[in-house]
Structure 1
Amino acid sequence: MTTQLGYASPVDVDTYGPYAVTNPDYPFVGRIGDPDFPEEAGRYHLYLSHGCPWAHIAAIVRHARGLTGIVGASYVDEERDARGWAFRERFGPDPVNGFTLLREAYEATAPGYAGHISVPTLWDRATSRIVANAYNTIPNNLATAFVGLVGEQAADLYPEDLREAIDITDTDFATAARKGGLWTSEEGETINTLERSDAHLADKRYLFGDRLTISDIRFWVKLVRFPETYRAALTEDGRTLVDYPNLWAYARDLYTRPEFRETTELGVLAENRLRRGPELPAAPTAEQWAEPQDRATLG
């Protein structure tokens, strides 16, 4: 059977209303490797967005683990009205089901579904239902699944001996991002978490020394969106990413890796920044991201 491909109509806030999220939940929590979802090449598909940091993490992990030929992926349009994520000409149609709205995947899985429509969404072709939409667990699942298919040479992004430390680090960075990069201590002292990270990376190539982990991926997607993510720190002293020498070199070092560079649409990120904060300073250009850095000698 051939899937009929199509596109959603243009964004129409007058007809459908503006996009809004209230009390988002993520009820689909299956995992590849569960009895219902065995590890089979070509069975699963990721619905992603170039602008969403959570989807970006999943995209980088998929690439870094060598899963691009094992787990499919496609991208929704960046603009939304009340209908939510949609497939339009800019990033192509849904190649799996021919959906025009991502909402259709949710309704196919749970008829009458009225909850949050989110990316990343992991779809099972075999059963025509969603495996997971839990943005915080999908990347770790992709980082550990398909060992028999990707081989031992694949990047171990979530190594067992570091998992507890990785989980703590990821929680700390997520909290820091929610606070815009600034902590307030019990004594009332303002602490710039970016300064701490900059100092930490002065003599380490990655967050855990010479080992690239999923923590680096989670941190990097925040750094590449610096003006929006760390707005409080930016407002505090005007420093943006390029003003933190070790962070900026670290970010550029990661950008040289195909899994980061090839999954990043700097133009989309610039457009989203303008939508959310036109007063914010411009992010680094592609030319700046390509500037040389000397991080390879660090351990």
Structure 2
Amino acid sequence: MSKDTETTDTSGSYVEKGQEFNRDTNYIEDRILDDPDAQWPVEPGRYRLIAARACPWANRTVIVRRLLGLEDVISLGMPGPTHDQRSWTFDLDPGGVDPVLGIERLQQAFFKRYPDYPRGITVPAIVDVPSGVVVTNDFAQITEDFSTQWTAYHRDGAPNLWPEESRDEMESLMRMIYTEINNGVYRSGFAGSQEAYEKAFDRLFTALDTVEERLATRRYLMGESITEADVRLFTTLARFDPVYYGHFKANRTALRDFPNLWGYARDLYQTPGFGDTIDFRQIKDHYYIVHKDVNPTGIVPVGPDLSGWLSPHCREELGGSPFGDGTAPGPVAAGEEVPFESTAAAWVK
């Protein structure tokens, strides 16, 4: 395809004009396993998670890493919120170089392993520090493996994000959330025709209405405590009003106008491990500056008012406890704090 017949999103996916958005889901599927004979064995200090705060898929991995207490065994590198067509860059670090990997662009880790790597350079990605090569960028598998393969290094009181008794139901729900909501906002925002947009719009809000109804009688998606399903939905909800409602034309109903979803999102935002990973400024900068096809001027909106994220949610009336029999994570690791001006608290008068 030529550049006059296509547009691209930040994952390297393509949108043909007149067609609907299709995400490229061909990721590097290698896994880090709790097996000393594996190609990539679990080993504290060996791997570095590269996860831009702006990206919802990367944001998931930062949340799960924090909830499980893996900060001391898997280091975190954070590219800036904007990038060019080549790669995410470490422009927030001194000299524009990741201090552990010694590279300026995530692309270098991909090319070191695959010199002719043909797909998008995406986050999250895990890099093998000794060799400097990318191990995987399969975002869904990364968080599952944090829960199931790194158990020996979970903190005391870490929540069970993959409860065996409800796993089948949870996986079915997460498939719907991914196809209809996580990816649904992109399908709306990158639609190549009016017809494709309206179809995507209807699918997205049908799914949001379904989840709104589900949350009327339960505090979290699977019941009384947080699971992986909540992590996967939350990162889209956190970006909905600041970005997707306007930028992606998902404007039938704002998140703040869904009674249950809005209360649920605030409940999670105010829970350690969730809101303390959200950088609203980086989120807005990323979408409004990078997506030139959608926002040619690159102007970043000042609003919306974010103070409502800290208002009482009253979801505790439904019972349950966020961490079940576990406990909340401790303070955010030094150097990983979200700047105050990028938080909801900065909007409180």
Q: Which TM class, normalised by the smaller chain length? A: 0.7 to 0.9
Post-superposition shift, 1:282?
7.5
Aligned to 1:12: none
Spell out, residue by residue over 1:7-60, the C-alpha distance to the aligned partner (whole angstroms, 9 max, x if none).
xxxxxxxxxxx9872564313422232512222221211011111111011111
Residues paired across the two proteins, number:
277
Per-residue CA deviations over 1:178-212 (Å, capped at 9, x if unaligned) read: 3449997xxx9996322222221122110011021
Residue number in structure 2 paired with 1:71: 74
Q: Alpha-carbon deviation of 1:125?
A: 2.1
1:251–1:213: structure 2 CA closer, same or farther, 3 Å change rule? same
Amino acid at match of 2:121: I
Alignment partner of 1:212: what SS? coil
Paired position in structure 1 for 2:343: none
Distance in 2 separating the partners of 1:141 and 1:190: 28
Please name the residue that 1:125 is paired with: 129
**Corresponding residue of 2:18:** none
2:209 is the counterpart of 1:208: no
Superposed CA offset, 1:72-110 (max 9, x none): 111112222222111113696412221001111012222
State the alpha-carbon separation in 2 of the partners of residues 273 and 117 from structure 1.
17
> What's the secondary structure of 2:88's corresponding residue?
coil
Q: Given residue 104 of structure 2, which amino acid in structure 1 is its aligned partner?
A: T
Q: Equivalent residue for 1:43?
A: 46
One-letter amino acid of the counterpart of residue 44, structure 2:
A
| Residues 100-179 of structure 1: pairs in structure 2 closer than 5 A | 100-150=104-154, 153-177=157-181, 178-179=183-184
For the 8 Å contact 2:55–2:283, the answer to whether it is kept is: no
Q: How far apart in 1 are the matches of 2:205 and 2:48? A: 41
SS for the counterpart of 1:173 is helix
Q: C-alpha distance in 1, partners of 2:203/2:244?
A: 21
1:31 partnered with 2:45: no
SS at match of 2:77: strand
Structure 1 residue 88 corresponds to structure 2 residue 108: no
Distance between the aligned counterparts of 1:213 and 1:249, measured in 2?
Answer: 17
Task: Supply the AA of the counterpart residue of 2:27.
Answer: Y
Which position in structure 1 is the counterpart of 2:234? Answer: 220
Percent of aligned pairs sharing the same letter? 29
CA change 1:284–1:248 in 2 (3 A) is farther
- Measured at CA, do residues 189 and 209 of structure 1 come closer, stay the same or move farther in structure 2, by a change above 3 Å? closer
- What amino acid does structure 2 have at the position aligned with 1:204? R
Q: Is the 8 A contact 1:226 1:283 kept in 2?
A: no
Moved more, 275-284 or 131-140: 275-284
Per the alignment, residue 297 of structure 1 pairs with: 317
Q: In structure 2, what is the equivalent of residue 14 of structure 1?
A: none
Q: Residue type matched to 2:213 in 1?
A: A
Deviation per CA, 1:132-151, whole angstroms, max 9, x where unpaired?
Answer: 11122111111222212225
Q: From 258, 263, 272, give the equivalent of 1:249.
A: 263
Give how far 1:111 is off: 3.0
Q: Once structures 1 and 2 are overlaid, which stretch shifts more, 136-145 or 48-57?
A: 136-145
The alpha-carbon distance between structure 1 residues 285 and 71, as it changes in their structure 2 partners (threshold 3 A), is farther
Give the residue type in structure 1 aligned to 2:85. Answer: A
- Counterpart CA distance in 2 for 1:121 and 1:191 is 30
Give the distance between the partners of 1:72 and 1:51, measured in 2 at CA.
Answer: 18
Distance 2:85 2:173 in 1: 35
Look up the equivalent residue of 1:133 and give its one-letter code. N
Whether the aligned pair in 2 keeps the contact of 1:19 and 1:80 (CA below 8 Å) is: no
User: 1:67 and 1:242 mapped to 2: Cα distance?
Assistant: 33
SS of the residue corresponding to residue 260 of structure 2 reads helix
Indicate conservation of the 8 Å contact 1:176/1:183, yes or no: no
**Structural mapping, 1:275-294, within 5 Å:** 275=289, 276=291, 285-294=305-314
Q: Contact (CA 8 Å) 1:192, 1:233: kept in 2 or not?
A: no
For structure 2, list consecutive stretches of 5 or more residues without a partner in the other structure.
Answer: 1-7, 15-23, 189-196, 320-349
Query: Which residue does the alignment assign to 2:210?
Result: 196
Code of the residue aligned with 1:173 in structure 2: it is I
> 1:250 & 1:19 partners in 2: Cα distance?
29
| Unaligned 5+ runs, structure 1 | 1-17
Out of 280, 283, 295, the position equivalent to 1:266 is 280
Provide the residue aligned with 1:62 in structure 2.
65
One-letter code aligned to 2:255: L
